[in-house]
Structure formats: C-alpha cells, structure tokens
Amino acid sequence: MSAATAQGAIHCTVVSPERPLYDGVVERVVVPGSEGELGILPRHAPLIGALGPGVVRLHTKTGDERFGIRGGFMLVKKDVVTLLVTDAVKPADIDRAKVESERESVVESLRHPASAEEFEELQRSRRWCDVRLALVGEGRAKAAAH
C-alpha cells in the first residue's frame, strides 16, 4: 500500500507536452471533464476520461494548486490520478492584459468566420481565453478575501 493510500490521499501527476506540472499527494482533485466538472476523492472507482477546457484544482493539506488547461485525458486507478493535459498554464504565468486583447480579437473574428471550421476553432480559442481569465480572477478573489 502506498503512503498516499495509507493516509486516505491521492497521488496526483499532471503532465503537459512542455513539462511536468505537478507530482505529489493531494486530498482531492477537481478537473474539467469534457461534459462538466468532476471531483476525485480517495478510493474513487477506476476511470479513464477526456478533459475539456477549464481549471484543474488540486487540494492539498497546505493549500491549492491550480492550472488552466485546454484539454487532455485523465486516468484514475487505485488512489493514483494521472492527468495528461494540453496547453497548461499556471496563474502566475498569465498576462491578463494580453489575454484580454487576444479575446477581443477572437470575438471580433467570430463576427465573420470564413468557414464552419474557422468558427469552431475561434470558439475553442475564445474558451481558452475565458479559462485563463477565470484562473487569474480566482487568484484575485482569494487575495482580496485574505
């Protein structure tokens, strides 16, 4: 039995194509599933699932880790959660003004897309902007509460 299992915790690994983002013990994991938010607690049933754009929240005894992701896949097996994510970003790495400008440009392009494919890609780009802005907004809200 692993130390994570013995303590009623989960070993979680988060990896993006660019770099490993997290590897440690958590109390619970909240991920943006392709069909909505999903919480993982110790002793969760085995699961393989698609991740959608949103914020990953890793709740630890000492605080929370958060990442914005564009999508990916999740594997849950015996108190081990592995997240293989795309385009992951930490709150500290987000330039709010740059993302707001990017979002304005995407919204403008959505007014007259050249094709259905372009429309779908612009929708995905807008959602990615929204995820990053929400991630920055969560950090500001927590800072204001303290």
What DSSP string describes 38-107?
EEE-TTPPPEEEEE-SEEEEEEETTEEEEEEESEEEEEEETTEEEEEEES-B-GGG--HHHHHHHHHHHH
DSSP 144: H
pLDDT band at 3 (very low <50, low <70, confident <90, very high): very low
Question: Domain segments of the chain: what residues?
Answer: 3-86, 91-145
pTM for the model stands at: 0.83
The angle that helices 116-145 and 96-110 make with each other, rounded to 10 degrees, is 150
pLDDT in tens, 65-120: 999 999 999 999 989 999 999 989 999 999 999 999 999 999 999 999 999 999 99
pLDDT confidence of residue 145: 43
User: d(Cα 63, Cα 27) in Å, to the nearest integer?
Assistant: 10
pLDDT confidence of residue 139: 52
Instruction: Give the architecture-level CATH label for domain 3-86.
Output: Sandwich (2.60)
pLDDT confidence of residue 8: 79
Q: What is the CA radius of gyration of the chain?
A: 17
Contact 109, 122 (CB under 8 A): yes
Residue indicated by tokens 């950090």: 139
Residue 46, pLDDT > 70, answer yes
